[in-house]
Amino acid sequence: MKNILNAPFLTEMIRTATNMYAHGWDERNGGNISMLLDEAEVRKYLDFPAIVRTIPTGFEAPALDGRIFLVTGTGKYFKNVQYDPAKNLGIVRLAKNGTEAEVLWGFSDGGKFTSEFPAHMMSHVARMRVNPENRVVMHCHPANLLAMTYVHDLDEKAFTRTLWQMCTECIVVFPDGVNVLPWMLCGTNEIGLATAGKMETARLVVWAQHGIYGAGRDLDETFGLIETAEKAAEIWMKIAHLPLKNTITDAQMHELESRFGVKAREGWLEP
């Protein structure tokens, strides 16, 4: 049996969590990550079916029954993940239509998965319906996107177009745009369902006055989506109070579509 601390999926999760903390996106115990794992890969590092304990999830997710996830723990600081992965991370397998999570490794102090586990799992289901290769859901609190929700119209089309206009790469990186939820109580099934609904049409969902959810095929793609949107928000926050003399026009964004083989969300650019 191989040492799980050398597993590529674990080392990449540790690097990502550390990098997110360094970016200032995950203060204290803010933020969470979940990643769908391949069972055959996990079997190289863990005995099956060695279940450490079982935790009720508080929701149903039949589509994920038997699926295995690497997930951050509730109340855990991202800055500490690199120093004690077994305490701050856990590998769980969903069972009984997703109503139970079987801990296969981690949460060594008796802890459990993030309080946003419902939103993560529901978002995984929604994104996998759109793209079966989706494996990662990531939530964090980037300062500029968060600040933007206090002063910008929360209309999704308007919010997205502002971000697209800030950096040439934005429409290339997230042509599906950014969806937005008004403030809702976090850690509930209700916000999980609402987020999943928004995930059906975009890989980025902003939680107003809270943070952002991103989804992707791997940790790099998901991190990069959030990183790009946050950079655009930073630029907007720096210039929003100034008279605008130049911008990226819709015609120029159509040029970017053609050049990079992407298609902006239907109806969100002028013909």
User: What domains appear along the chain, each with residue ranges and CATH number?
Assistant: 1-114 (3.40.225.10), 116-271 (3.40.225.10)
Ramachandran category for residue 102: left, alpha or beta (phi over 0 → left; psi -120 to 50 → alpha): beta
Distance of CA 22 to the CA centre of its chain: 17
d(CA 105, CA 93) in angstroms, rounded, equals 10
pLDDT tens sequence for the chain (271 residues): 799 999 999 999 999 999 999 999 999 999 999 999 999 999 999 988 789 999 999 999 999 999 999 999 999 999 999 999 999 999 999 999 999 999 999 999 999 999 999 999 999 999 999 999 999 999 999 999 999 999 999 999 999 999 999 999 999 999 999 999 999 999 999 999 999 999 999 999 999 999 999 999 999 999 999 999 999 999 999 999 999 999 999 999 999 999 999 999 999 999 8
**Nearest Cα to 219, choosing from 95, 4, 33?**
33
Q: Provide the whole-model pTM.
A: 0.95
Amino acid letter at 181? L
Helix (H) or strand (E) holding 91, with range, is strand 89-95
**Nearest Cα to 149, choosing from 136, 167, 163, 139?**
163
The answer to whether 112 touches 22, Cβ cutoff 8 Å, is no
Q: What are phi and psi of 52, to 5 degrees?
A: -70, -45
Would you name the residues annotated as active-site residues?
A: 116
Q: Within 7-80, where are the H helices? A: 8-22, 39-42
The answer to whether 214 touches 138, Cβ cutoff 8 Å, is yes
d(CA 198, CA 193) in angstroms, rounded, equals 9
Q: Within the chain, where are the H helices? A: 8-22, 39-42, 85-88, 117-130, 143-151, 156-166, 170-173, 189-199, 219-239, 250-260
**Nearest Cα to 9, choosing from 43, 48, 50?**
43
